Amino acid sequence: MAAPEKSPLELEKASKLANVPHCEQYERMISGMLYDSLVPELTNSRLAARKSMLKFNNWFPEEDDFNIETITKRRAEILKSFLGHVGDDEIFIEPPFRVDYGPNLSVGKRFYANFNLTVLDSAIVTIGDRVMIGPNVMISTATHETEVASRRDNIEYAHPITIGDDCWIGGGVIILGGVTIGDGCTIGAGSIVTRDVPSWSVAVGTPARVVKKVEALGKFEE
């Protein structure tokens, strides 16, 4: 269900993100309220994301600069230009990469995503440090009412997604809005995550269910 009022927590998160399309409908969108996705501020933000994705997905170095250091550095620069937060220059996303807005995506240090990651970030998506994502993963905050009338009017809503530190998201996983995946989790390939997964768990299936716990580790020392 859509939220009845704005979320101070999500508004506080947004205040720390770059490139945010501030407007009334944006605040409703990230708060989980019903909102109009076709207002100019949101439409322009999505168009800007598509331009940035085209640049990211099609850039490749000249022969003289064909090395992993150059590729990593330049791709990180492009990602920082349109995502909400990037933890460090070690971020590595294999193209193609697709995102709905960009400013609502925050990733931590040493983030890696394999080919074909799709993030529908109508609400804020927060990903922790040292997270690995397999190929063909979809992270979708966006949803609609089942009543048809609001869909005819382009009204929708979204719920945030949080993925903790040291998680491994297997290939083909779908993570739906409103889900929090705790630290140290593994999500098995092909799973659909519809509910929270507690820290230090392995979850598999459709819908994903916890099948085992793993040893909890202390704070990572850089």
Residue range 49-70, pLDDT digits in tens: 999 999 999 998 877 778 888 8
Residue 113 located in a structural domain: yes
Residue 113 is predicted with a pLDDT of 98
Residues 80-106: tens digit of each pLDDT = 999 999 999 999 999 999 999 999 999
Residue 33 is predicted with a pLDDT of 98
Residue 126 is predicted with a pLDDT of 99
How many domains does the chain contain in total?
1
Residue 66 is predicted with a pLDDT of 81
Residue 46 located in a structural domain: yes
Residue 5 located in a structural domain: no
Give how far Cα 15 sits from Cα of 18, 21, 37, 84, 222, Å.
Answer: 8, 11, 20, 10, 27
Q: What residues act catalytically?
A: 144
Whole-angstrom distance, CA of residue 91 vs CA of residue 212: 29
Domain that holds residue 157: 21-212
Residue 218 located in a structural domain: no
Q: Name, in order, each residue with C-beta under 8 angstroms of 63's C-beta and a sequence gap of 6 or more.
A: none
Which residues does the chain have with pLDDT short of 70?
A: none
Residue 93 located in a structural domain: yes
Residue 129 located in a structural domain: yes
Residue 34 located in a structural domain: yes
Q: What is the CATH number of the domain that holds 143?
A: 2.160.10.10
Residue 221 is predicted with a pLDDT of 79
- Expressed in angstroms, the distance from the first to the final Cα of the chain is 41
On the CB side of 77, CA atoms within 13 Å amount to 8
Residue 97 located in a structural domain: yes
Residue 60 is predicted with a pLDDT of 86
Three-class SS of 21-66: CCCHHHHHHHCCCCEECCCHHHHHHHHHHHHHHHHHHHCCCCHHHC
**Contact between residue 151 and residue 34 where contact means Cβ atoms under 8 Å apart:** no
